[in-house]
Amino acid sequence: MFGTKESKEAKRQEKEQKEVQKFLEKYQLEDISEKDLVVLKRIANDLAGNGFFKAGMALSFAKAEEQAKVSYLSALVEQNWMIIRKLDEISKKLDR
């Protein structure tokens, strides 16, 4: 509250970095290339905002069909992360 603008920005960036690191660990993407890491960080930040949407939907007692759609889409996102990880592994093996 009383910190300088720079210190607030540094804290925000540190928090964002921790969230991205947790995201990478959750999906076992720690070894991904630096080039792909930039894109993954952007996606991780977008998905973090989506988590608030899902929580709000549950609290609003949305229709079961709507909640099921969101759950299925979340499952697809989880599968996509697994595919990304495996494709990165294949790519690294092909480079050897």
Residue-number span of the structural domain to which 42 is assigned: 5-95
| Count of domains observed in the chain | 1
| pLDDT tier at 14, thresholds 50, 70, 90 | confident
Predicted pLDDT of residue 94:
94
- Sign of CA pseudo-dihedral 85, 14, 10, 51: positive
What is the mean predicted confidence (pLDDT) over 32-44?
77
Asked if pLDDT for residue 2 goes beyond 70, the answer is: no
Q: Is 44 exposed, middle or buried (0-12, 13-18, 19+ CB in 10 A)?
A: buried
